[in-house]
Structure 1
Amino acid sequence: MKTINWNQASELGLIVRINREILHPLGLAMSRNPENGASEMLLVSDDGAWVYATPLMNVPPSLSEAETRAKIAEWTKEQQV
Structure 2
Amino acid sequence: MQSIDWNQMSELGLIERINREVLHPLGLAVSRNPETGISDSIFIADDGVWEYPTDMPTTMMSNEDVRRKLAEMMKEIL
TM-score by length of 2: 0.79
- Percent identity of the aligned residues? 55
Specify every segment of 5 or more residues in structure 1 that has no aligned partner in the other structure, as ranges. none
| Residue-pair matches, total | 77
Provide the alpha-carbon RMSD of the alignment. Answer: 2.4
Specify every segment of 5 or more residues in structure 2 that has no aligned partner in the other structure, as ranges. none
Aligned to 2:20, the other structure's residue is in SS state helix
Shift of 1:67: 2.2
Residues 32-67 of structure 1, C-alpha deviation per residue, up to 9 Å, x if partnerless?
Answer: 0000111010011001121345x458x583x33222
**Stretches of 4+ moved more than 6 A in 1?**
none
TM-score by length of 1: 0.77
- Find the structure with the greater CA-based Rg: 1
